Amino acid sequence: MAIHPDAATRAWIAAAQGRFRKKLGRFERSLRWVPAESSHVTLAFLGELPDAAPIAQVLEACRCVPMDLVVSGLGAFPNPRRPAVLWAGITDPSGNLARLQSQIADAVTPWVKPERRRFQPHLTLARVKEAMHFGSALKPLLTQREGEPQAWHVDCFALMQSQVDSAGAKHSVIHTLRPH
């Protein structure tokens, strides 16, 4: 399950990636950048499933409500010294995103093991190609303000299918959920 940013937010992501690339210097070549048009906020990762129809049916019971999200701030998982992922953070002043994610996680437990990590909404900007020690080089870049925060209105959620190959992941929508 995922939320796709609108066109203005995808443009914000592309611009942030461009600025970030320039600042990274020699570390930039160690990263595989996620195309802005592929960006999404993952609400639940379901892995490989033989049939998505039962999941789509169960997800219809989740209480989806429209919400306004804000993209601001940069970070790294698991940490800035040895990152695997560079991301832009998502905030939701209403708290609706966290409630929806919790409902979805509960709904898909017959198919997926519950996630042990705390939900931290984000948009992935880049993945580190190979384990690399960035030392203290990345931390100052993550604490710099990355342009003005970008807000977008969310009114639909998507059950996605990902196909991964050597060029990266290709995502397609299987089912769309709209607020009811």
Q: Which residue of the set 4, 40, 171, 180 is catalytic?
A: 40
The neighbouring-strand residues paired with 109 are: none
DSSP structure class, residue 111: T
| Nearest in space to 29 (alpha carbons), one of 136, 124, 123, 130 | 130
Clarify whether 153 is annotated catalytic: no
Distances (CA, A) of 57 to 48, 52, 87, 180: 17, 9, 31, 14
Distances (CA, A) of 39 to 5, 35, 102: 7, 7, 21
Clarify whether 122 is annotated catalytic: yes
**Strand pairing category for 157-165 and 168-177:** antiparallel
CA angle at 63 for the pair 70 and 46, rounded to the nearest 5°: 80
Catalytic residues: 40, 122
